[in-house]
Structures are given as C-alpha cells and as structure tokens.
Amino acid sequence: MFISNAYAQAAPAAASSDNGLLGMLPLVLMFVVLYFVMIRPQMKRQKEHKAMIEAVQKGDEVVTAGGIIGKVAKLGDNFIHLEVANGVELQIQRSAVTQVLPKGSLK
C-alpha cells in the first residue's frame, strides 16, 4: 500500500522543571504589566489628591465632586465650610474637593 499506518508515540518519561516555569512566565508578565499600567498610576493620583486636600487653606477657591464652586470659609478635620454665595455656606467633606482653582477665578 501507499499509505503506512501511523501509531501514537509514547509520552516523554518526565517533564523538566524548566517547562513549568516557562508556563508561568506569561502570567507573571501579565501581572507586571497590570501593575505598571493600572495600579501604579492610580496610587500616584491618590497620593497627589491627598496632598492637595491637606494643603487647602481658608480663602482657597475649590471645585467639589458635584461641580460646586466656592471659596473655603472654615476648615475642620473632616469637613470644609464652602461659601458659594454671599451668606450661603455649604458643609462638605474634605474628600469631595476635586480641584483647587487659581486665586481670582471666582467673581
């Protein structure tokens, strides 16, 4: 006949330990890339936001997470009193401040 019979070969007797490490290499590389692309920049942003919140002083003009713009009237440990109009003050959490505006932004 023209076609010979094909038989399955026996599996190798023992797999080397290098083969197992090479199999885990893509998983390890994926976690390294994930750290540098997602986790590290987020931690940096959190650190910058915390420093900005701690540096807020009376008289600063700020924007809250809800989009409210006002001038800091009083400071507390966890809360800020924000003057949004003459005689109108709102009490907000410090963590709600998203941005400190340059002086003179409010009219």
57-107 folds as: SH3 type barrels. (2.30.30)
Confidence check: pLDDT of 4 > 80: no
Two structure tokens written together for 75: 């400071």
Two structure tokens written together for 32: 């390294």
The residue among 107 and 47 whose pLDDT is bigger is 47
Domain ranges of the chain: 16-55, 57-107
User: Could you tell me what percent of the chain has a pLDDT over 70?
Assistant: 88
pLDDT in tens, 44-96: 999 999 999 999 999 999 999 999 999 999 999 999 999 999 999 999 999 99
Confidence check: pLDDT of 41 > 80: yes
How many Å from the N-terminal Cα to the C-terminal Cα in the chain?
A: 97
For the entire predicted model, the pTM comes to: 0.69
Burial of 15 from C-beta contacts in 10 A (0-12 / 13-18 / 19+): exposed
User: Could you tell me what percent of the chain has a pLDDT over 90?
Assistant: 71
Q: Which of 4-8, 27-31, 42-46, 87-91 has the lowest mean pLDDT?
A: 4-8
d(CA 7, CA 12): 15
